[in-house]
A and B are shown apart, each in its own frame.
Chain A
Amino acid sequence: MDLKELRRQRRSRFMGSMIPYAGYVIRSGVAMVLLLVLIAFSAWYTALLRDTPADLPIRWIMLVLLLPAAVHSSFRTYLRSPDTIFLLPQGHRMKEYFAPAWVSGNVWKILRLAFILITLWPLYIRTDAAHGSLLLTALVLIAVKLLSSYGLWRETAMLSRPAAAGYQLLRWAVGGLMIAAWLWQPPLRALIFIVILSAAYFAALRVPNRHAVPWERLIATEKNQGTRALMMLGWFVDVPGREQRVYARRYLSRWGGGIAWRRDSAYRFLLTKSFARGDVFGIVLRIAVLGMLLVLWNRSSYAGTGIYLFFLFITGIQLSALRKLHSESFWLTVYPLPAGSRADSTTQFIFRTLLVLVLVLGWPFLLTLGERPLPAAGSLLCGALLAFFFKMYMQRKAADPDDDDL
């Protein structure tokens, strides 16, 4: 059995299943909005480069932006449940299968890292007199990237899940320390530190017991990766049969218990539970926290209003993915849910969540009500209007499910 060829075929099949959606992505309004945002960002960044503030904490900015790009790793293995039967006899040869996954995962993520570094570099050399060389910095970051990828691979194979979680934290800490050492210390001293830390990390990774091939873990990870790819596609176009990743989130287990005990709100109960334990909640929460901090920082300028509306729009896009949740659910066909209650519950749920986000993201404007009452109130009003826009959009979609335009 040619394992390399098998993975190549699976990859081609997956890519082939994505291609039919490309046209919809290009035509969709979301792609256009993101393009406009990119143009606006480019204009803002060019202006920042022309007039760079003297006290910009550039090393911290570099660390915050480069760390996730350097440490976050993932691999597409395209493994599936039947592989635990049919590929199990090939367990001793699976390195042949996984090698291309490791290479391709790293190549794409190194390109992402390079893009962020090159974007940041002009700002870095303008504001930090003690900056190092671009080539050396890139090499150090690539080394951190490869080390992190290796660390992730070893974590996946670990027998103990708590140990793997501990090593995940260690991976981020090691990556952070290495990048910080390179940014804050003289090159030679930083390099010595990085080499010693790498050796210690390698040694630490050898300690935990691990599976030869962590089949079930890899299959679950692959399922999540595929789900994530479909979720991103779902921002632009309806993708059938999308499942979501589930997290226990015990602290949210009571959410939904107070929903009115009526048949027409039964779907709202299911949707609330699905949102509370799904990946959309985590994404929306992270966007909301980041947006709120940026709005707080820029609350006294019109840039703050732009950031506020942009982040609200992005959370709206994320929330609108809930429309497609359970779209092919067996039980929703069999259970006697009142006609139209599914679409109504979804629209109401997304609208109410967006209204909460209007306040969560926009409260910093309330601090400026005294000095700039009109822009502050106007920003919040625009946020509420945006929520209404999403509500109307979803009502239109519910009436005409074939309509894919935003």
Chain B
Amino acid sequence: MNSAPVLQITGLSGGYSLNKPVLHDIGLQVKPGEMVGLIGLNGAGKSTTMKHILGLMSPHKGEITVQGKTRSSDPEGYHSALTFVPESPLLYEEMTVREHVEFTARAYGVERSDYETRSLQLAALFNMEDKMDTLSSHLSKGMKQKVMIMCAFVARPALYVIDEPFLGLDPLGIRSLLDFMLELKQSGASILLSSHILSTIENYCDRFIVLHRGKVIAQGTLAEMTEAAGLRGLNLEQLFYELVQGGK
């Protein structure tokens, strides 16, 4: 298997203002078939990091590559290699669930037959079969979030950037999402996942990156991080608390 990172971030500094960067010298990578948890307090810089990856913000310094491509050198190739699930659903009110999934499949160049198979599978997985022809404005928040997830998963790119995916999902939806992410991971896809529900992602992510005040303060597997911090035996939540609060 090719182990070159799918996502590589090197020396990234950035933010909304040049004078007040939010991110400071961020370095991280996500390899093929890896699920990486990006964790941090509110305002730590998780969403800003994701916005830089998506190309919604430009780095002040540093470089981001997805499958070896930068956004400036090959914007179409860069965006084709990643998909995103936002924290709050962003849907077109003029389209139904089915049309959202179809629009995404068309935009990513998914074959029509693959789209048909995948959309049926995703609708069944997220219990959305009877909502496929409903306009997005008539859906509950949890269902809107499911549409976002279905759109991301119909594209099947190399990298999934997922921001707080469990917000608004019912317990069955969370289970389906986690199982499907594991399936994707096993098929070689890479996932960068941000979440505050540490007890859940502890069992699913291969590695973790802890962001605090715009800096990476720890990264690695849970065992590596507890070892480095001299806090062996802690679970992710306890370790995170120690790292960001200094045990206070």
Contact = CB atoms under 8 A, between A and B. Distances in A.
Interface residues of B, number: 30
A150 to B, nearest CB: 30
Contacts, number: 74
A337 B107 contact: yes
Interface stretch (A113-121, A272-280, A364-372): A272-280
Given A263-B109, A265-B106, A338 B135 contact: no
Given A335-B107, A337-B107, A248 B135 contact: yes
Contacts of B107: 263, 266, 335-337
B133 interface: yes
B92 A274 contact: yes
Interface residues of A, number: 29
A330 B90 contact: yes
Contacts of A246: 93-94, 135, 137
Nearest to A278: B94
B84 A261 contact: no
A399 interface: no
B146 to A, nearest CB: 16
A256 B96 CA distance: 13
Interface string A53-93: 00000000000000000000000000000000000000000
A266 B99 contact: no
Main secondary structure of the interface of A (DSSP, over half): loop
Contacts of B93: 243, 246
A83 B130 CA distance: 33
A273 B102 CA distance: 12
Interface string B28-59: 00000000000000000000000000111000
Given A335-B108, A336-B108, A270 B103 contact: yes
A269 B133 contact: no
Given A266-B107, A269-B106, A335-B104, A274 B94 contact: yes
Interface of B: 54-56, 75-80, 83-84, 86, 90, 92-96, 99, 102-104, 106-109, 112, 133, 135, 137
Interface of A: 243-244, 246, 248, 253, 256, 261-263, 265-266, 269-270, 273-274, 276-278, 326, 329-331, 333-339
